[in-house]
Amino acid sequence: MLQLLAPAGSTEAVIAAVQSGADIVYMGERLTAPGKGERLFDQAALAQSIRYCRMRCCQAVAAIGELCTDETMDAAIDRAVFAAEAGADALIVRDLGLISALRRTLPDMPLWGDIRLSVSTLEGAAAAAAMGLSRVTLSPELSADQIAVLARSAPLETTVCVHGPVCVARSGRCYIGAMAHEHRGDSCLRCQEPCRGRFSLGGRMDEHPLSMADICLIDHLEGLDAVGVTCAAIEGRGRRPEYVAYATRLYARAIRENVMPTQEERGYLLNAFSATGLSDGYFNGEPGPGMFAPKPEADRIHSRFYTELRRGYMSGELRRVPVKFYVVMHQGHPALFAAEDSMGRRAVHKGFEPIDLGRLGISEGRVREILQRTGGTPFNCTEVNCSIEPNLDYPDEAVEEARRDLLAQIADKSRETKAVTSAERPEKPVPPEASGTPKLIIQITSEGQLTQDLAATGPDLLYVPAEILAGGAPGVEHFLSRGTQVAAVLPAVVSEAEGPVLKELLATLKARGVTQVLAGDMGLLTAARREGMDVRGDFALNVTNSWTLDRLGQAGFLSVTASCELTARQIAALAKTAPTEMIVYGRIPVMITDHCLIRNSAGRCSCSTPTSMSDAFGGVYPVEKEFGCRNTVFDARKIFLADYPETYTGVGLWGLRLLFTTESPRECVLVTERYKQQNDYVPTNASRGAYQKGALWS
C-alpha cells in the first residue's frame, strides 16, 4: 500500500498531518533566518514534533531542501545530526555536497532525494542511488507511463507528488526569483513566486501565463500503487495547517479505504485551498493551456469551515495506536499486566497479590472494561486476554493504575531512539595550487553567431547546442582551424521516453568528431559517458559549495560551472578541487519548462520565430525553443563583469564563460574583445546578476 507523506511547516501542522492519517510527516526548515511572518522549527520544536509522531506510529522526516554554501554547510550538518539523534526516520536532502557529507557523517541514516533533484530518467535515478540515496521524489512533470518505468526499474524507492503547488519551471531549474529584482530564490526556500505575476507573451497581454494549477492525482492513486510507487507526497510545507489536515484526510481515506472524495469535498479542496485550480495534466501526458486555466469563480468559504477543521485535529486523539493487554491473576501470585502495541513495543506491570474472597470476585469482563478506557490517549485497546481464577478480588483502582502505567511505559519507549552512528564530519576539500590564466569559453545559441570574426578572438573552448552540431554547422570550422576545442551543449531536460533520441544524437556527434559535451544533469553524465563522451558540468548542477564541486570532480566531470546564485566572493572562496568555470557574461536561463509557452499563449507553435515575455516591471525575457517542444526563458538582463575583473581574476578559476543568446554576431565579437581588454564596449541592460547581492545566504 502507498505510504502517504504530508508536509508540516509548524508544530500545529504536524498535529494536523498525524491526526488526519499521514504515514510520514516531513518537517522542513531553511538554514537562514526566517522572513517576516514566517515560523520555523527550532531544535526544541523539531524534537517535540518527532516525539509526537513516533508515539503515534507515524514516521518523522527532517527536510533540508536548501542549497548550502560553504558558510551554511556546518549548520546543515548540525541540523541533520540533531534530527538523527532526536529520532528522525530519514532526512530529505537536495544539495549534492550535503548528501556526500552526510553519507560520511551519518552512514546509517536513510537519505531521501528532494523533488528539486528533478529525477526523471533511469540514469538520473541510478545516479541518485550511487550518491547514497535510498528514496527519491520524482520530477512532477512525468506522465503515468514514465512514472511506471521508474517505479518498476529504478534502483531505489520512488515518491510521487500527488497534490499541491508546482512551478511552471522544472523542479530545481528555476532561477527567476533569484535573478529578478531583490527576490530570493527557491534554492534557499524563500521564493516569492514572481512567476505567479502578470506577464505578456508574444505581444498579447495574458493574465498570468506562468501561474500553474496545483497537482491533484487523487483519482490515480490505485494506479501508482500498482506500478510500485512507494510513497504519495502532498506538497505545501508553507501552507496553513487546515490545508494539511484536509488534503491528508482525503488522500488517506482514498489510499486505505478506496473512498474517493465527493463533489462537495472536491469543491472545498479547490475553493478553500487552491488559488490556481487543480490539474492532472502532466500525469495524463497532456501538458498544455488547461493546466493554466483560471480558477472558476469560487463560492465564499466561511471561516467556520477552517474552525471546524482545526477543532477536529486539535480537540482529541483521532490517531490511535492499537494496543493489546494481557492479564494474569492467580491465587498466591502477584497480578501481572502486560501490553503490546502494533509496533511491538511492550510493557509489564507487576501488581500485588489478589485476595481470595471465597465468593464471586472481579470478573474478566470488568477487567476488560477498565483496560479499554484509553480515551484521551494516543492508544486504542483492540484486545484484552485474561487468565483470572475465580473468587479473586482486585480493586478497580489498581487495574486503572496498571493501565496508566502500561501506556506510560509504551509512550516512553516510543520516545526512545536508536543509537546514531556518527562519524567525524568531512573537512572542507583542499584545492590544488592555482596556476595559469583562465580559459576563455564562448557559448552560442544560434548558428549565425559562428562567424570568422568571433573565431578570430581566439577562444579556448566553444560550446554549441548539440542539435546545431549534429546538423553540420559549417561555421564551427572557423574555430577548429584556430585550435579551439568544441563541446556540444546537451538538452537541459531529457525524459526517459526521449532516451533513444538522445542516444542517436550522441552517436551523430561522435561520428562528427565531437568528444566533449556540456550537461546540467547527473543522469546525462551517465548517458554521455556510456557513449564514450567526456562531460563538462553546467551551472544547473547547482554547485554552491566546495563539497559539491569536489563530488562532481570525483564523478568524472572534466570541469564544473559554479552556480550563478553565489556571490563573486563565495565563488572565489570555493575550494576548486575540480576545474571550475564561471559565467561572466550573458543572460542566464532562468527557467526550463515542459510547456510550450508560445503555443499556450498564441494557440499555435512558432518556435522558429524569436519570442519574448515581458513582466510588469518592464523586463523582457527572451523565450527560446528547447529540446522536446519545451521552452527556455532567459533573464531579462545580461550579466556583465568586464568592468569588474577582480571578481573573476586571480581566484583560481579554470575558465570564464561568455554566454551569447540574442546577441548579434557583431555584438558577440564586441563583448569577447571587451573581456580580452581590446575595447571599452558596454552592453545595454547589463547587471551584476546575483554575483553582487547573492541569492542563497543572508
DSSP character at residue 140: T
Q: Which pLDDT score is estimated for 272?
A: 84
Q: Which pLDDT score is estimated for 239?
A: 86
Shared domain check, 454 and 553:
yes
Using pLDDT thresholds of 50, 70 and 90, give the confidence band for residue 697.
low
Q: Which pLDDT score is estimated for 83?
A: 94
Q: Which pLDDT score is estimated for 288?
A: 78
Shared domain check, 628 and 581:
no
pLDDT, tens digit, for every residue of 660-685?
Answer: 999 999 999 999 999 999 999 999 98
Q: Is 303 among the domain residues?
A: yes
Written as nine digits, the cell of 237 is 510545507
Shared domain check, 578 and 681:
yes
3-state secondary structure (DSSP) of residue 5: strand
Written as nine digits, the cell of 586 is 550573458
User: Rounded mean pLDDT of 539-554?
Assistant: 96
Shared domain check, 545 and 660:
yes
Written as nine digits, the cell of 45 is 520544536
pLDDT, tens digit, for every residue of 552-573?
Answer: 999 999 999 999 999 999 999 9
Q: Which pLDDT score is estimated for 177?
A: 78
Q: Which pLDDT score is estimated for 498?
A: 92
The one-letter code for the residue type at 549 is L
pLDDT at 82 over 90: yes
Using pLDDT thresholds of 50, 70 and 90, give the confidence band for residue 515.
very high
Q: Which pLDDT score is estimated for 202?
A: 66
247 contacts 273 by C-beta, under 8 angstroms:
yes
pLDDT at 298 over 80: no
pLDDT, tens digit, for every residue of 614-635?
Answer: 887 788 999 988 888 889 999 9
Other C-beta atoms lying within 10 Å of the C-beta of residue 574: 30
654 contacts 581 by C-beta, under 8 angstroms:
yes
pLDDT at 299 over 70: no
Q: Which helix (H) or strand (E) holds 596?
A: none
Write down the pTM of the prediction. 0.92
Using pLDDT thresholds of 50, 70 and 90, give the confidence band for residue 199.
confident
Contacts (Cβ under 8 Å, ≥6 apart) of 19: 245, 312, 313, 317, 318, 319
pLDDT, tens digit, for every residue of 62-75?
Answer: 999 889 999 999 99
pLDDT, tens digit, for every residue of 572-593?
Answer: 999 999 999 999 999 999 999 9
Q: Is 44 among the domain residues?
A: yes
Shared domain check, 342 and 474:
no
User: Rounded mean pLDDT of 94-121?
Assistant: 95
The residue to which cell 532525494 is assigned? 113
pLDDT at 336 over 70: yes
d(CA 564, CA 687): 13
Shared domain check, 196 and 284:
no
CATH number at residue 286: 3.20.20.70
Q: Which of 624, 623, 619 is nearest to 636 (CA)?
A: 619
Shared domain check, 121 and 55:
yes
Q: Is 352 among the domain residues?
A: yes
Mean pLDDT of the chain: 90
Nearest-10 crossing angle of helices 144-153, 122-130: 40
Q: Is 698 among the domain residues?
A: no
User: φ, ψ for residue 583 (rounded to 5)?
Assistant: -80, 110
Q: Which pLDDT score is estimated for 42?
A: 86
Q: Which pLDDT score is estimated for 205?
A: 56
DSSP string over 651-691: S--SEEEEE-SS--HHHHHHHHHHHTTS-----SSEE-THH
More confident residue, 51 or 299: 51
Shared domain check, 352 and 278:
no
How long a stretch of residues is the chain? 698
d(CA 279, CA 152): 25
Q: Is 263 among the domain residues?
A: yes
Residue 397 burial (C-beta neighbours within 10 Å; 0-12, 13-18, 19+): exposed
Q: Which helix (H) or strand (E) holds 565?
A: none
Q: Is 338 among the domain residues?
A: yes
3-state secondary structure (DSSP) of residue 234: strand
Shared domain check, 204 and 123:
no
pLDDT, tens digit, for every residue of 209-252?
Answer: 888 889 999 999 999 999 999 999 999 888 899 999 999 999 99
Q: Is 697 among the domain residues?
A: no
User: Rounded mean pLDDT of 111-119?
Assistant: 95
442 contacts 454 by C-beta, under 8 angstroms:
yes
Whole-angstrom CA distances from 438 to 22, 479, 559, 648, 676 are 53, 18, 12, 9, 12
Shared domain check, 477 and 346:
no
User: Rounded mean pLDDT of 115-137?
Assistant: 96
User: Rounded mean pLDDT of 33-46?
Assistant: 70
Percent of the chain residues past pLDDT 70, beyond the cut: 93
User: Rounded mean pLDDT of 485-506?
Assistant: 94
Shared domain check, 243 and 385:
no
d(CA 76, CA 66): 9
Give the residues across from 464 on adjacent strands: 488
Domain span at residue 198 reads 173-211+589-636
Q: Is 430 among the domain residues?
A: no
Q: Which helix (H) or strand (E) holds 103?
A: helix 96-105
Shared domain check, 219 and 206:
no
User: Rounded mean pLDDT of 485-497?
Assistant: 94
* Number of separate domains in the chain: 4
d(CA 356, CA 653): 89
